[in-house]
Amino acid sequence: MKRMVTIATTALLLDQESAKPGVMVQRALEAVDEAARWKPDLVVLPEEFDYIGLPPEEARKLGESVPGGPIQGQFAERARKYNTNIVIDIRERDGDRLYNTAILLDRAGKFAGKYRKTHLAPGECSEVALGCDYPVFDLDFGKVAMLICMDIHYPEIWRILTLQGADIIAHPTMWMDYTGNLCESLVNARAIDNQVYVVTAHFVSMPYLSGQSMGYGRIVDPYGRNRASTSHRPGVAVAEVDLDESYEFWATGDLKKEYPTLKECFLGMRRPETYSILTRPDSKNDWKIANPTLYRP
């Protein structure tokens, strides 16, 4: 049996105009309009498009309640209009705290859930509070989860979502990578290890130069292969995938019966009883390099 789903990811242009309030939100809305041509079941937008590029005096004004709020309202209207689920990522204000929050809106434009970023980038902690939960959400075609940017470096949390049945993990981001190899390799690894679809959305500067925002919106399958990408350009990439498509384990005989697919193999052979070190307080910092060698010009 097939579970066909049409997924759209995006890359938004980041330029001098981005410093003007509302410009990036408008570009995000236009990206949803463009994606709607393919009648997607899910559209994923980049990380904090309401925030990126703004001068500090404007950025400090940001933050809206979740659920609710004017930015969410604009995308909820698009979700209803196009009969699609949408992942947006904006600044959430909860009392005196701000969060970097991914929000899932369903086809009716209703709030389906949120995820607050749990692993903040260096320097982000001075502005944003830490999230602490890893929810998975039921949509009409399957289960969707969300992680944000820096979360890509912590494979434990991707496995937590997979063990809760996530079919697709949306990954809004604004990360930097001087060659593209790091970004690509990490997304591929998370998809392969967990046998899930990963949908990453980003920003792009034009013309593309190494060291700028990578602009590589991608839809990656459980084999770590691109089903669609925006390349290093602004725009939308769309792929139709089968969430029930299984990647066979290469065994034969009884092993094949026990582990018919890579998902049964990778997840079924886990040994959680040996992983206790992952949850102990990290007070010793045994991993730390005593005298790191740093190269500076």
Q: Among all residues, which ones are annotated catalytic?
A: 47, 117, 149
Are the CB atoms for 200 and 216 separated by under 8 Å? yes
Percentage helix, strand, coil for the chain under 3-state DSSP, each rounded to 5? 30, 25, 45
Spatial neighbors of 63 by CB under 8 A, at least 6 apart, are: 91, 92, 93, 98
CA angle 149, 155, 156 (to 5 degrees): 115
Pairing state of beta strands 4-13 and 197-204? parallel
* CA–CA distance, 214 with 175 (Å, rounded to integer): 8
Are the CB atoms for 44 and 172 separated by under 8 Å? yes
Spatial neighbors of 46 by CB under 8 A, at least 6 apart, are: 10, 11, 12, 28, 52, 89, 172, 173, 174, 201, 202, 203, 217
Q: Which residue has the tokens 């990453």?
A: 200
In order of 7, 118, 136, 225, 290, the CA distances from 197 in angstroms are 10, 21, 14, 10, 38
Q: Which of 146, 83, 79 is nearest to 111 (CA)?
A: 79
